[in-house]
Chains A and B, each alone.
Chain A
């Protein structure tokens, strides 16, 4: 073997090790879902179940409370994603392209929240939504998180770098700002929208503390992560079932990553700016 092939094999091996290290916990979770109650933590240790059976997955998907939490969180995440894209892109366009009275001041007002950690305002946000009568509604899960300084900032940078030409031509032709936004800017925003939309979906889908405090396990509104968090306390430790439920709950975001793989690099830029 030449040294080049040796290098190639070596690289493939190292790559495989990294792949396994990153994926093992996830795979382990999915495999545990295929194990029966007795074998999931059996000693001596074994990697694979004696028999691959779908019982846990079938059982958890037949649990109406779990299924409802899954569905409700999914619908909520979609609404949340669409609304947050709308709100943040409007402001991003205004800050990138329009000139208006007090722009600098409004910019500070809109960017400052990026630096406020959630915990500093958790208690008083709770008081605010309680006073607004929003506790135990779907609105309390969706509305408070819609506005995102980080996403607005990210999209504004993108809009700042867009060429002026088309816009100027449209202005001369008598188009107004709204038409320019919807017909020129929105159609060209696919990549940043995918990244921002994924971020919003992820934030909503994975949320735990906020739904726990504001909605908790009030009937019909339990979010999927709150359901999973409560599961251990409420039903003891049937690890096979719990891991099956966790695997299914982790799937949507994983699938989204696989679908939108080619946007990861852009997404990293968003993460890098926050």
Chain B
């Protein structure tokens, strides 16, 4: 598996160097370290300093500060007031927050499975191609991922115009023109088409990297036994790529749940909140200058972070414990 190969070989190297298991963990750690005089504290600190300082100021401190501020009510004209976890309660009992979570979930359910199926089909197809054809298609599917979300959003708004491409296309099948982005039912699916277009390429390439790691002999012997393409995919490809799939599923869901640029530009969350994803909800709260919307928005962002983080950790732990069995 390409994705985890680097970490695998790193652990393999460290375990190869490790002394017999009879030593305690502490002793082993002491042995694997070079003696004190070989340490290079000065230069090492100088080398990590820029990174540590920048991360400290612009990521770690803002995160701590966010947790701190989420327990205060801030006023324009008087000092902030400590309110404990009150804002967490506000957010968690706000139907609008739950509505945005629901929208985010629906969006993820439309985007992630579609992207995974597309990626599986495309990567198995690209694998059968010659060198040149594969190279062309790899570049082609990669291109949508490097185009800015802003450009993609504008482009799809253009496609969804009343006399635009989308209406012409469905017209071919005898369907009447739609108000894609202005109808409750079609707005979110329309946005998710743009999301799918942006996401399928990189997933295809990640899957392809995993596919190329499966020994060709597996397929050859299966073909000898008379297995057809579907059987080979079902019994060889999918089981062996289970970890890559789970990885794509988890990262896909965490990214899709956090998507907000597409709906921000395409629909600004409308019509009537139909495309207000969780982060768009939070972002709009932040921009909305009403009382306490500032604390409210950062509290909601922290809650989302904790929930998504906890879910991914649980799933990744499950994958990791699986790997030992999988080889």
Contacts and interface: CB of A to CB of B under 8 A. Distances in A.
B75 to A, nearest CB: 16
A128 B62 contact: yes
Interface stretch (B40-48, B83-91, B182-190, B224-232): B40-48
A271 B135 CA distance: 18
Given A110-B52, A208-B149, A117 B308 contact: yes
B286 A26 contact: no
A28 interface: yes
Interface residues of A, number: 90
Given A11-B128, A110-B48, A112-B60, A127 B65 contact: yes
Given A15-B133, A243-B158, A272-B209, A41 B163 contact: yes
B143 A261 contact: no
Given A119-B301, A123-B297, A264-B139, A272 B62 contact: no
Could you tell me the dominant secondary structure of chain A's interface residues? helix
A103 B34 CA distance: 13
Nearest to B153: A229
Given A23-B143, A25-B155, A268-B202, A95 B48 contact: yes
A28 B165 CA distance: 9
A143 interface: yes
Contact of A229 (B202, B265, B302): B265
Given A147-B54, A239-B158, A249 B298 contact: no
B275 to A, nearest CB: 17
Contacts of A62: none
Interface stretch (A49-57, A64-72, A84-92): A84-92
Nearest to B133: A15
Interface of B: 2-3, 6-7, 9-10, 13, 33-34, 38-41, 43-45, 47-48, 50-52, 54-63, 65-66, 69, 122, 125, 128-129, 133, 135-144, 146-152, 154-159, 161-165, 167-168, 171, 197, 201-202, 205-206, 209, 247, 251, 254, 258, 260-261, 265, 279, 282-283, 286, 294, 297-298, 301-302, 304-305, 308-309
Given A42-B163, A243-B158, 17 more contacts: A11-B125, A15-B133, A15-B136, A25-B144, A26-B147, A86-B50, A94-B44, A94-B48, A101-B39, A123-B286, A123-B294, A123-B297, A128-B58, A144-B54, A157-B7, A208-B150, A243-B155
